[in-house]
Amino acid sequence: MRKWILGVLCLGLLAPAAASAQEVDEYLQVLTVRVKPSGVGDYEDYVKKIVAGLGKAGSPQLVFGYQPIMGAPGYTYDFVLPFSTWGQWDAYPAIPQILGKAYGDVPAAAILKSGRAAVEGSSSVVYRLLRNLSSTSVPPHGFVHVIRTEVDPEAAQAYEVYLARIKSALDQTPGSPPALRYVSVLGPSATYLTAQFYAKHADRDSWPPVGDALRKAYGEADARQILESGLRAVRSRTVQVDAYRLDLSRPPAP
């Protein structure tokens, strides 16, 4: 799994798609897996068996699968596991337990062997929602624009002020996409993720540039100062687009 060295939108990476807008959980774990080109079919079959096995094993855990399609290495998958309290994890069985309960011990061992053989590497990060810097719900979507930003820990507070100014400006600007913003709590520290959601690529044509929104909201001088303050805090950044994979997901029941 590709290392998360840059700040976030596991997932951006990363809120669930549903038939209607839904409330957002307090936390999410973003699991990133890089697979061997020759093992894509085996790996996807492995994930589908896990997802189907969750119900058979009686696990309440939700899983949302995404596949980076722009701005990221190929043969990579992002899986988002949302949760509201840490206590929920006590009810989430490990993958070998899920497969064992769902298919029996011998078939489960074969499934595990096949799936693990297809994997080149993996990593995970847990993020906490910055609720006051985020949209209140997530609309149905097919794609997520994910921005991961690693900032200087000493500048984290200033960076959150910068994000607040951006949110305020975009909220006043027609065409701005809904966005969720997170900060890491496990994994690389001082890492921020912004996830912006859209249904089709043409939707992006109406997105206002951040600089234009800031200038309209605050004026030229203040907008320049806001942008400069944000850049000073940044150590590194990645931007990518993830496509939602319903076939690799376990969303809530309609």
Whole-number percent of the chain with pLDDT over 90: 87
pLDDT tens digit sequence for 122-154: 999 999 999 999 988 777 889 999 999 999 999
% of the chain residues with pLDDT over 70: 91
| Distance from C-alpha of 107 to C-alpha of 94, rounded to nearest angstrom | 16
Q: What does the block give as tokens for 229?
A: 């303050």
Q: Is-contact 252 246, C-beta < 8 A?
A: no
Q: What is the mean pLDDT of residues 91-119?
A: 96
The H or E element containing residue 101 is helix 95-103
Q: Which helix (H) or strand (E) holds 9?
A: none
Q: What is the model's pLDDT at position 6?
A: 29
Which domains are delineated in the chain? 27-149+181-199+236-250 (3.30.70.100)
Q: How many Å apart are CA 149 and CA 77, to the nearest integer?
A: 19
Question: Model confidence over 9-19: pLDDT tens digits?
Answer: 333 334 444 33
Structure tokens at 49: 């068996």
25: tokens are 């959980």
Q: What is the pLDDT of residue 135?
A: 87
Q: Is 174 exposed, middle or buried (0-12, 13-18, 19+ CB in 10 A)?
A: exposed
